[in-house]
Amino acid sequence: MKLVAATLLALACCSANGHGDPKPASGSDPHPPPPAAPPKAPMDITYRDMPDERWKHAGEIAIAAARDLLAQTGSAHVVVRPYASPDGAILPYLLLVETTGADGAPALRSTAAVWNDKLANGGGPATATAVLAAAGFPARHLALGHLLELFYITGAVDLSWYRPPSAAGWDAVTRPFLGTDLAPAIDYAAGGAVVHLYRGAGAGSGAPPPPGPGFETPVVERLDLAFDARAHFARTILRQNPARTGWVPVP
């Protein structure tokens, strides 16, 4: 305590004598830079349930591409695993990335796909075809949810037709979409496959009005994605007739 008092007194005397506030030397900075922030702890990354080294390598590619996003979301702990269906099926190399902050609170949950040592996200229809062909589709039957998730990740099919399982849950894959009582489906035949997706066109939001003057049954549209043996696909949009007895191609 005496040392503190003596130090304060010495500083006060120097100030009174005009020597307590020396002028900075020529060229020196009177305001030293603030101390550097302590380095951030390294991100803890776990590759879980990877079937082999190729899967782990795909996970590393996905994480490398997402480093900035992980930092922005404050992710401290990252778990990367195959995006498995409820029955345990997986699609190479479709991944689920889940992260938490330093306090353990959820920070990010996202899916990613890797093909040809590159992130497939946003790659469009050609990339979706490449991923599916590499997986052996359609000769190898895949979970419909995996197809929908891949359509979503690559942007190959507009979201107005379906809900990806990562956003709506796997149960939603087999439930009717907005404005219709028809559920998504996939048919395998003749070395190919056809995915059927449905949506209500002009159904509006909320419950439909009761039948009466001026009431029109909402129109239902169907999108057929016809895959050939090499996973290339063609699109056809059809509209259900008012009697709900058939479908007419939309020009």
* Residue 114 included in any domain: yes
Q: What is the pLDDT of residues 106-126, one digit of tens each?
A: 999 999 999 999 999 999 999
How far apart are the C-alpha atoms of 150 and 147, rounded to whole Å?
5
- pLDDT-flagged residues of the chain (< 50): 1-25, 38, 203-212, 215
- What are the residues facing 188 on neighbouring strands? 193
Domain residues for the domain of 91 are 44-121
Residues 58, 108, single domain; the answer is yes
How far apart are the C-alpha atoms of 112 and 32, rounded to whole Å?
46
How far apart are the C-alpha atoms of 218 and 242, rounded to whole Å?
9
> How many structural domains is the chain composed of?
2
- pLDDT reported for residue 218: 66
pTM > 0.95: no
**Under DSSP, is residue 44 helix (H, G, I), strand (E, B) or coil?**
strand
Contact 69, 101 (CB under 8 A): no
How far apart are the C-alpha atoms of 26 and 234, rounded to whole Å?
75
Residues 65, 165, single domain; the answer is no
Q: What is the pLDDT of residues 65-107, one digit of tens each?
A: 999 999 999 999 999 999 999 999 999 999 999 999 999 999 9
Residues 224, 172, single domain; the answer is yes
